[in-house]
Amino acid sequence: MNTRVNRSKKRIMQAFQTLLNDKDYCDITVTEIIEQADVGKTTFYRHYERKLDIFYELHRLFFARLLSSYDQAEQWLSPVPSDAVVRLLAFFSNESGFRRSLTYKLGNDWSQASRQLKQDLAAQIETQLTEVFGAERFDMALTDLSGALAALFIEFIGQAVNGPKQTGMEEKAANLQRLIRAQVTAALNP
C-alpha cells in the first residue's frame, strides 16, 4: 500500500473512533465517517464496503495489541493477568460510550459482528499459540482451544462494556487470566 492510501485509511479509522466517543455504533452513518475523515465517498468505499468493516478492523487492532502480551508460554500460563488485559478491559468499560447494551449498539449488525469478531480473535489466538507452543504440544485441536479462548475474551469484553462503569478492572482481568491458564494448561500435552 502506498503512503496516500495508508493516510486515507488511517483518517477513516480515526474518524470512526472519534465518532464512537460521542455516539453508539448504530447511530453513526457512513456519511458522518466520510465527513469526519475528510475523504471522498469513493475513497471510503475503496477501503471499506460498510462501516461494519471498520468496526472489524478496529477490533483486530485491539486484539493484536492484546495478544502481543501473550508472546511467551509463561504469559499464557501465568496466574497474573498482563497489564494489557487490564488496560483493554478498562478501556472497554470506561470508553464504551453510552450505557446501552452491545446488542442495541450494533443494531442489525450484532449477529454478524459477534460471529466475525469471535472468528477473527480465534484465528489470532491460534496463530499466537502456534508461535509460542507449537501445534504439536496440544492434546486437542488448536481450533477448538482458540475458539474457546476467543469466547472467553469476547464474554469478558462484553461484561466490561455492558456492566457498570468501573475504575479498576484488575479483578475481572485476574478472573479472565485464571480461565485462560486453566484452558491452556488442560490442553497441553503432559
Chain length of the chain: 190
Cell numbers placing 110: 450484532
pLDDT at res. 87 = 86
Which residue from 74, 58, 54 is spatially nearest to 157, judged by alpha carbons?
58
Cβ-based burial of 4 (10 A; exposed 0-12, middle 13-18, buried ≥19): exposed
Residues 15-35 have pLDDT tens digits of 999 998 888 888 899 999 999
Cell numbers placing 8: 486515507
pLDDT at res. 166 = 57
Residues 84-130 have pLDDT tens digits of 888 888 877 776 544 555 566 666 777 787 888 899 999 999 999 99
Q: Name the phi and psi angles at 188, rounded to 5.
A: -75, 145
CA distance 45 to 47: 5
Contact 21, 42 (CB under 8 A): no
N-term to C-term CA, the chain? 45
CA distance 87 to 91: 6
